Structure 1
Amino acid sequence: MTDPELMSDVRAFLVRYQDAFDAIDGQRIAALFHIPAVTMRGDGSIHALQSRQELASFFQGVADNYQKDGYAGGRFEELQVSPIGGRCALATLDWVMLRHDGSFIRKWRQSYNLVRVDSGWQILVSTFHVPRAATA
C-alpha cells in the first residue's frame, strides 16, 4: 500500500470511528477495536480491555459523558499516518468536540496504533497525548 493509499484508508476508518462516537453507540465504537485493546485516557488512566462487551460498556460510558458535556459531533484535524511494517500503522491527530450549534467544547491530540486484520483496520492501542506533569 502506498503512503497516499494508506492515508486514504486510515482516514476512511477514522471517519467510521467518528461516526460511531457521533451516534453515541458503544457497540459500534467497540467493533472498531481489536481484542484485547489498551486505551490511555486524558486523565492518564490506562485501561486494558479484554472483550467486545467490556469495550462496548467502557466506550458507551465515554460517549455518554461526552454527550453530557454537550457533544453533538466532532471532527479530526492534522492527521499524520506512518506505516509500521505491512499490517500496522500509527495515526496521530487532533480531535475537536462540538456542540449542536457548532461551538467548540474541547480539542486534544491522540494517537492510535492500528492493526489490519481480515475485516480491516482495528485500534490496538489508543493514547491521549497527556501533558507532562510540572516538576518542582
Structure 2
Amino acid sequence: METTVEQAKEFFEHYQTMFDSGDMEAFSKLFAEPFISVRPDGSVQSMPTNKCALKFFSEVYDNWKAEGYSSFRTKDFQVTPIGKDSMLVTFTWVMLDDSQNAIREWRQSYNLLARSSSWVVITSTFHA
C-alpha cells in the first residue's frame, strides 16, 4: 500500500467525521488491537481491544462536549512513510465550538499501519 499525504488526509477526514458524528462504535474500529495513546500529561492509555477504545473515546467525547466542543479542524500535516505498510502522521487539531471559534489546539502524531485495504492507528502521541 502506497503511503502518501493524500491517503493520510483521507484517513483523518474519515476519522474526524466519525468522531464529530459521535459514532464511537464506528470510530473505535479505526484503531488496531491493541492501541496505545500517550496522553497530554505523559500518561499511557493502553486499549487492548476496540471495546476498550469504545469506552475510552466515549468518555473523551462526552468530556469535550461538556467543554463546548462541536467539531474539529486540522492543519499542518506532515507524513513520513515508515517501511512498506506504515506511516507516521503528525498534524495540529483545532477544537471548535458551535460558532467555529477555537476552544484549543494541540499537535499530535499517529502511527498508522496498513491492514487489508485500510489503515488503522496503532499508537498516538500528544506533543507537549
TM-score (norm 1): 0.89
Deviation at 1:90, TM superposition (A): 0.2
In structure 2, the partner of 1:94 is 92
Deviation at 1:28, TM superposition (A): 2.0
Q: 8 Å contact 2:2–2:84 — kept in the other structure? A: no
Moved over 4 A (4+): none
In structure 1, the partner of 2:13 is 15
Offset from partner CA, 1:3-22 (integer Å, 9 cap, x none): 6xx11111000001111111
In structure 1, what is the Cα distance between the partners aligned to 2:18 and 2:58? 10
Counterparts in 2 of 1:87 and 1:108: CA distance versus 1, 3 Å: same
In structure 2, the partner of 1:127 is 125
Residues 1:105 and 2:91 are matched in the alignment = no
Give % identity: 38
Residues 1:37 and 2:67 are matched in the alignment = no
Tell me the number of residue pairs that the alignment of Structure 1 and Structure 2 aligns.
128
Counterparts in 2 of 1:35 and 1:70: CA distance versus 1, 3 Å: same
Offset from partner CA, 1:9-61 (integer Å, 9 cap, x none): 11000001111111122212211101101001112211111111101000111
Q: 8 Å contact 2:2–2:85 — kept in the other structure? A: no
1:50-129 pair list within 5 angstroms:
50-129=48-127
- Opposite residue 30 of structure 2, the aligned amino acid is L
Q: Decide which structure has the larger Cα Rg and report it.
A: 1
- Which stretches in structure 1 are left out of the alignment for 5+ residues? 131-136
Q: 8 Å contact 1:24–1:67 — kept in the other structure? A: no
Q: 8 Å contact 1:26–1:58 — kept in the other structure? A: no
